[in-house]
Every structure is written in C-alpha cells, then in structure tokens.
Amino acid sequence: MSIISVRNVSYQYHEAGDQAVRNVSFDVEEGEFVAVLGSNGSGKSTLAKLINALFIPSEGTVTVCGMDTRDETKTWDVRAACGMVFQNPDNQIVATIVEEDAAFGLENLGVEPAEIRRRVDWALDAVGMSDYAQSAPHMLSGGQKQRVAIAGVVAMKPRVIVFDESTAMLDPVGRREVMQVVRRLNKEEGITILWITHFMDEAALADRIIIIDRGEKRCEGAPRAVFRQTGLIRESALDVPEMTALAAALRERGVMVSDDILTVDEMEAALKNIRAVR
C-alpha cells in the first residue's frame, strides 16, 4: 500500500474560480524521496495542504497511511503520520530555547517528560543541532533555525514529512545544511519525504520527480528522464539544469554527449571522452 495516494484530486478555493489543483494523481511509497517541482502559483502549497488534511479535495481522494483525509475522525492521525515543514523558519519557532521549541508539539500532546527528553535529544541529534540545545533560536542562522523547526516535526515521529519550499528563504549554506539533514532523515531514519521546490538542483536529488504546472501534473519519473524533456520543462516555466541545457545545446551542434547529464562532473567526464574530429 502506498503511504500517500492522490487520486484524481481537484481543489477550488472559490466556487466561481479556477481549480488550483486539477485532476492530479500520484502515489508515494514508504521510504521514497519524491520531489514536487513547479513554478510560482502552480499549486504546490495547495497540494501540500491537501495531503496534510488542512484542505479536503473538491473532487477525488487523498489517502495517507490508508486514511482518507475526508474522514474527520482521522484528521489528527493524518497530521501525526504526516508532518509539515514550511518556508519561513521564523513562523515555525515558538519557544525561546531550542530544546523547548523541539519539545513543543510533544508537550501539547501530553507525552510524559522522560519520553519527551528522549525524543527531543534524538531529534536534535538527527538534525545536527544537539550542540545548540540551550541556545536562543533568534541567535541562529536561517539554516540552523530551519533545522530546529525540522527537529520539532521529527520529534513527533511522523512516517512522512512534507517540506513546502523549506529552503526558499535560506542562503546557499543554509540550503545545503537542510538538504543534507533531509537526505539523512530519509536514508537513515527511513522517513518518507515529499520535497516541494522550484529549485532544479534540489529536485535532482530525489528518487522521483513530479512536475506540476497550472494545477496539473505534467510528468513524473526519475530525475534524468524528466530533465531530458527540456521543452516540457520550459513550458512549465522552470529552468532546465545548466549542464543538461549545455548538453542539449552541444547535441544540437553535433557534439554527441549523452542526453542525461545533470552535473558538472558528468559533463567533464563526457567531454573527456570526445575526440576532436576533423
């Protein structure tokens, strides 16, 4: 059984308005790292809220760990199984000391203090923030703050975490820190990740990419297979990864490099194999 199942889902904010999400279907399997890639206004946040039962589909069905989000008796179980991390760390941090912030959700659930201690220590360690347990969040960098926000979600032991553009406000160092932490949570803790982004280089790290454009799913597949479709990517108002675009331009000019190059290292390797012909 898929951990997330989205079946023919549409969502409309207002009766008269356009559908923000239109007949979208996909599945996420336990342990996967799936990226949802789309430009501004394409429906990504609407989709995230549909998965977390913040919104109920106008049409179609969303199932999380076998629970239909339409079933109101399951709303809290859906949110416990599926954590959310948003864009702005400042809006997610509620306490004045890091470890208290990470404990906040558990305290609200009435978890006993010894268990809270264990889970908070584990969660701060999982995000590499143990050394800052006693620090004041406002003294931290953006990347560190976002990792504290992630620790608060991880401490709740969700099976899935949905990240909605969680690096968009961070500098390059912060983005890298957060990406590394999220990959570790996926590989080492087995947490399923739905990574929503408009950054190509981040999506390239996923097992699978889903592109959405104007509320509709445009394509789905392994990063290399998706990035090869340069026309579709540009139509979706996204940038083709630089090295993929360079490879396509070289091929158009008769330089036969592979059409699935993503990184500088791969481009370098491909060019080393080309002999000058004259």
Strands 33-37 and 216-221: unpaired
From residue 41 to residue 80, what is the string marking binding to Mg ion with x (rule CB under 5 A)?
Answer: ---xx-----------------------------------
- Return the one option of ligand ADP, Mg ion, none that residue 247 interacts with (CB less than 5 to 8 A, by type): none
φ/ψ of residue 139, rounded to 5: -85, -10
Closest separation in Å from C-beta 198 to Mg ion = 9
- With respect to ligand ADP, which residue has the nearer C-beta, 43 or 105? 43
Does 13 contact ligand ADP by CB under 6 A? yes
From residue 16 to residue 55, what is the string marking binding to ligand ADP with x (rule CB under 6 A)?
Answer: ----x-----------------x-xxxxxxx---------
- With respect to Mg ion, which residue has the nearer C-beta, 45 or 244? 45
Q: Are 145 and 96 in contact, with CB atoms under 8 Å apart?
A: no
- With respect to Mg ion, which residue has the nearer C-beta, 45 or 69? 45
Closest to 232 measured CA to CA, from 199, 252, 210, 257? 210
Element (H, E) at 58: none
Strands 33-37 and 208-213: parallel
- With respect to ligand ADP, which residue has the nearer C-beta, 86 or 132? 86
DSSP-assigned beta bridge partners for residue 244: none
- Other CB atoms within 10 A of residue 4 CB: 23
DSSP SS3 for 201: helix
- Distance separating alpha carbons of residues 59 and 9, to the nearest angstrom: 5
- Return the one option of Mg ion, ligand ADP, none that residue 76 interacts with (CB less than 5 to 8 A, by type): none
Closest separation in Å from C-beta 187 to ligand ADP = 27
Can you give the binding site for Mg ion, defined by CB under 5 A?
44-45
Where along the sequence are the contacts to ligand ADP (CB under 6 A)? 13, 20, 38, 40-46
